[in-house]
Amino acid sequence: MDSSITGNLAASAMKIQRKLRGVSKSSSYTNLDPSKIPLHVGIIPDGNRRYSRLANLSYRIAYNVGYENLRNIMKELLRIGVKYLSVYAMSLDNCTKRSSEELETLHDLIIKGVEELSKDEDIIENQIRVIFFGNLLLLPENINARIIELENSTRDRSGGILSIALCYSTLWEIDIDKKGTERPVSYRLLPPIDLVIRTGGQKRLSDFFPVNARYAELYFSEKPWPAFSIEDLHRAIQWFQSVQRNFGK
């Protein structure tokens, strides 16, 4: 995509996100219990296309707003002490069934995300390792190369892990694990997910790290992802802190 177009999309997305943050800052938060912060949070940021329809925006702008929102949420999770964050960026079906125009937008955002994560001060300061899970061979070669570079540059960090699912399928991952692979496998590297947050109104995991999430508490929000605020995040964690977890007992 032309750099001037990308810049305009980013500017529009940031402008919308500033408005959303302004609404959130004007709201009061209930204090979170620091002794009950989930170690590992999973996010299924669904509803970007629905948001584009509701807000009368192009899907390109909607995806960019969603991307900016993910950065805001990620930084807030780091601030409150979450050590592991897993994000369902793209499923295997997303990578094989979406239109070429939509995939172009998503690929542009992946490149942007990788570049920004490589120099993000919060990621560096908190010594966060970045790992991607999924069939990365379905992505363009230039994206694959940047992903590998980011993974290698953060490999020795021990402060926590940001895991991003791209072209991900559990059955595919189990298959490559059986065959042996140099690629990381989620259920061998990550601790169990404590809380899964899914936006957009759907109430299912949709193949989101089901092995890691087998005892996770599931929080569903009707809001499309770009409209999911910091206050909504706090509300989800407050709900998690109120749940009696039995782990199958």
This prediction's pTM: 0.88
Q: State which CATH number among 3.40.190.10, 3.40.50.300, 3.40.1180.10, 3.40.1190.20 fits the domain covering 44-239.
A: 3.40.1180.10
Q: Which residue has better confidence, 12 or 249?
A: 249
Q: What is the rounded CA–CA span in Å between residue 237 and residue 110? A: 27
Tens digit of pLDDT for each residue in 140-195? 999 999 999 999 999 999 999 999 999 999 999 999 999 988 889 999 999 999 99
Q: Which of 94, 108, 120, 232 is catalytic?
A: 94
pLDDT of residue 158: 96
Q: Is the pLDDT at 88 greater than 60, yes or no?
A: yes
Name the catalytic one among 46, 108, 120, 232: 46
Question: CB neighbours of 227 closer than 8 A, spacing ≥ 6?
Answer: 20, 47, 51
The domain spans of the chain are 44-239
**pLDDT tens per residue, range 1-29:** 444 444 444 454 556 555 554 444 434 45
Residue 33 catalytic?
no
pLDDT over threshold 70, residue 60: yes
DSSP string, 18-67: HHHHHHHHTS--PPP-GGG--SEEEEE---HHHHHHHTT--HHHHHHHHH
Kind plus residue range of the DSSP H or E element containing 163:
strand 160-165
Q: Residue 212: CB partners within 8 Å, gap ≥ 6?
A: 40, 42, 86, 186, 187, 190, 191, 192, 193
Say whether 175 is catalytic.
no
The predicted structure's pLDDT at residue 246: 84
Question: What mean pLDDT value characterizes the chain?
Answer: 89
For residue 18 the two structure tokens come to 């500033």
**Dihedral sign computed on CA atoms, order 105, 5, 23, 79:** positive
